Every structure is written in structure tokens, then in C-alpha cells.
Amino acid sequence: MDLRKIGVKFYVEKDNHVPLSVFIPIFHRFIQEDNLEGLLIDVAQYTHVHQGPGVLLIAHEANYSFDETHGHRGLLYTQKRPAEKGGLDHLKTAFRRALLATELLEKQPELSGKMTFATNHFQVFVNDRLAAPHNSESQEDLENALKTLFDGLYEGASTVLMPDMNRQNRTGFEVHVDKAISRGELLKRLASN
């Protein structure tokens, strides 16, 4: 299975009422200050769409968004044009970039103390129905890749992968880990694996 178009969404830890409009100037600032990896291009807002894609930061290699799909707020990172690497490297890149984006968002003055992202509850999917059709074979391939990644990332924790059946027929999982590991520790483990 082709794992180049990986999506990772880290959920907001607790319900919050930060308006989506707050993310528009934040994402523009990320472009101006070149705060994230890759070529950052533009911001698109879908604040008018109920439980929709929210606010997108469009980059050449990926999109970042503060997303509200299915009523679950979170930071969504979706690869579009990853570097030429193997499948597990694509997963690592997506996780690392999503984690770095959550860290950067939490540090913004507009969000400081108002929003934190869970590191033990997230979604992973392949955003390519042709390369990863929504079937048992693709689910098994992604599950095996995730288990390999999680053996190093969440060592010593119990990880539950729930097939993500309601996500527009994409191959994916809702992931629950029984203990939270700090973002800093996860980034360190990603760098060493």
C-alpha cells in the first residue's frame, strides 16, 4: 500500500470555545515567519461550514488545518507531496510535523492556556482512495505500519486501533493510547527511530 498521503489529526484535549476566526491570523503569521517545515502558501477559511474543515494553512507538501469534522476539533496534517522515502518514513514525517504544529499552536498568545492537544487520542488515515482502497487488505497494511511505528513511540503503553469507518471511506484508524506521553518525548523518539 502506498503511504505517501498520510493524514494525522491530534484532537483538542478538552472542549473549548475558541472561535475558528482566531486561527486565520495565526496561520498567516506562520507563513510570514516561516514557522513550519515546507513551503507555506496561503490560508483558506471554511468557518461558515458546520463541523467542516475549519481553517486551512495550505503548503506545497501538505495542508495543516484546525479541523472540526464530525464535531471533533483538532490539528489535522495531510501530506500531499512527501519526499521520496519509504512508507514508515512517511508516517514518521506526518507525526513529527503534526506534533510540531500542535506545539507551535499552543504557544501562540491567542491560544496560550486555552487549548492543548492530546498525544494519546488521534486519527490516522490514508488520503488516497486509489492507492489505499477502503478494504480489509488496506486496513491491515496500515495497521501493521502503525504497530511498527507505535512500538517505538508508545513503548510500554497499550494502543487501541479502532477502524475509522465514518471518514469518507478512507482507510484509517481512530487511535487511543492508555497513557499520555509528552510531545517532547514523542519527538525525541521519532528522531531516534
131-180: pLDDT as tens digits: 777 788 888 999 999 999 998 899 888 999 998 766 567 889 999 999 88
Q: What is the residue extent of each domain of the chain?
A: 6-192
46-105: pLDDT as tens digits: 989 988 899 999 999 999 999 998 889 999 999 987 555 666 888 899 999 999 999 999
Q: Degrees (nearest 5) of the Cα angle 23, 3, 163?
A: 80
pTM of the model: 0.92
For residue 182, CA distances in Å to 77, 96, 146, 186 come to: 19, 13, 19, 6
* DSSP E strands, the chain: 6-12, 40-46, 54-59, 62-67, 74-79, 117-126, 159-163, 172-177
* DSSP β-bridge partners for residue 144: none
Task: Give Cβ neighbours of residue 91 (< 8 Å, ≥ 6 apart).
Answer: 3, 6, 124, 145, 146, 149
Could you tell me if 143 and 153 are in contact, meaning their C-beta atoms sit under 8 angstroms apart? Answer: no
